[in-house]
Structure 1
Amino acid sequence: MPVKEKEPLIMHPRPSSIVAALYTLRDLDTDVVILHGPPGCSFKHARLLEEDGMRVVTTSLDESGFVFGGHDSLVEVLEKVIKRFNPKRIGIVGTCASMIIGEELHEAVTEVQPDVPVIEVEVHAGYRDNTKGVIIALESALAAGIISEAEFERQKSLLKEATMVEKRHGAASKEYLEPNRGDLKFRVAERLLELMKQGKKGLNILNAKKETAFMFADINLAVAQTAEKLGVSSSIVNMANLDVNVGLPKNRRNAREIKDELTQKDMKIHHIIGGLDEYPIAGNNASRIIGEKYQDFDFAVITGVPHALPMDNMKNMELFSITNGPRQVVPLKEMGHKHVVVEIDLHPKTLGVNHIVESEFGATLRELAKDA
């Protein structure tokens, strides 16, 4: 019997399954989520998610709760949430503390008997892959009749591929990845502008994860606007994972908002490569199109999750990649991406918005193009 190869120990901090569950509930248009655990658990993301319109409250478990349990606290908070916020959909998310002491979320729901759907997510942060938190949340949404079996299976398939993308070339690809701020934006924009001035053929690809597309799209828009200013638009092909017909409610809504704004600003998208939750497989779709039509192109600008694009059909191109992950710089360089730029504050700036947000790299490119 073959011995299963042990996965490497990843020493740098990685995303939490609890947080992943919270974002999934947000994508399902949940009004209020109760975190059943200590007051400080997932504080940063809980606060940021409130910027996106989803209220997050906590049962504030303390030392007494760790010993005697937090059932009564959960019942009390659930009742207060219903009375205070009158939500149409509620989420309850476990934490390391409540799961270790064996709290049963469903018992509190049974006792209170809310007249609205409740998505119970029994999750902790001890899973190797944070996508586990998404799957648990989706399983509960399926059980509550909020998503279909077909959508659940589709999401599971995407999450499996997302995990593999990170293990191949992402945050789970090495035992330890040093944070890196990437290349100097001014120098990278300068080189990109030089190629466009020369009339070189370029691919302009948005392959972003969910709401991060609100800023990544600005970079692709800046490339298209610069090409228009230089009179070389015919040399640029635009691709984007902005399919408005797939995904959980918020992702479809955001895709439409971004796509409509790009259209208003006269940016033509030549190829739709997937939806905002399809970034793990949209890269494969882009690669197939490149192989069929654009292998002779000179450069490519890839924003969002550049490491999801296979290198096979781009290995002879000069690659410009923009990420928001400091630990993604080294893997991208090792893949063969010559220029790697980090938009360090991107995620907090794209929560709670419904319009494209200006990026540092996009602003830099536009400023340089003024003198072109």
Structure 2
Amino acid sequence: MSAGGPVLVTGAAGFIGHAVSERLLARGERVIGLDNFNDYYDVSLKETRAARLVVNPEFRLVRGDIASPELLAELVARNGIQRIVHLAAQAGVRYSLEKPFAYEHSNLKGHLAVLEAARQAGGVTHLVYASSSSVYGDRPLGTNGFREDEPCTAPASLYAATKRSCELMSGTYASLYGLPQSGLRFFTVYGPWGRPDMAYYGFTQKILLGQPIEVYGEGKMARDFTYIDDIVDGVVGVLDRPPATGEHRLLNIGDCQPVGLMEMISTIERALGRPAVKLMRPMQPGDVTATFADISAIRTLTGYDPKVPLAQGIERFVEWYLSEIEQGGRGPTAAVA
């Protein structure tokens, strides 16, 4: 379904970037993937994801910093890039309390570098970029999902504040320069090849090792867990439907089925056939009580319909995780017997 030129995917060695790149390649697209392979989590996992992509001759890997305006401008202009999927960012809510300038560099400066490269090249027909459900701030679960037209004026973490800032910058570039853009508010993505800093991944590791897990918020938090394949369906569906020139739209991508933290832990216990030793902890700074996506907008636009329930998704993750251990393990999985 190629539109005639390569797609630039930033953060291509990351969790979502790797999966989106695989999907685009599978349907015959050419992909240029940019990643800096930073050490926020195990670099070998990123290298392995990248190795799975570079075997395809239609994929070209570029190692570099998303916050380099010169690099981005050259990539977009010299390769005739018309479509960009911008997924590179410094992730992690709690890490933003420790390393705030990492978020200024990757999320703010990096996003601006992508916008400027697209503006200068002049031929970009669609920029799809990653935002986050964290922009909604801390709010009770309620009976209705979070809607894109709600004001997002009280982010609970620096990470959330940078993501909201990126949305505002994109809106400005759309109105000033006519750059068509779609900002995607992801809701707790999980699945095989995921990030080791995510709760479901860390819980699985520790349960297998017989180590206690720390359950924050006294287990009363809830998340709209969304399986990676469903996320990719949403990303690619949006990419294929660019907005009009000068339009900037915001879209939730979630499962629309929030699940309590304790239920998620029980799901992992059942998949592993082992109980967890739980240490109950208070809510951490920057955390939010619940997330819940209203997905009516993306469903109307693309027909988006998440298909993988949490129990099935966790089973797939555990199967992948155990297979990685059997093959020798990577990073922290290597210690599991």
- TM-score in terms of structure 1 length: 0.31
- TM-score in terms of structure 2 length: 0.34
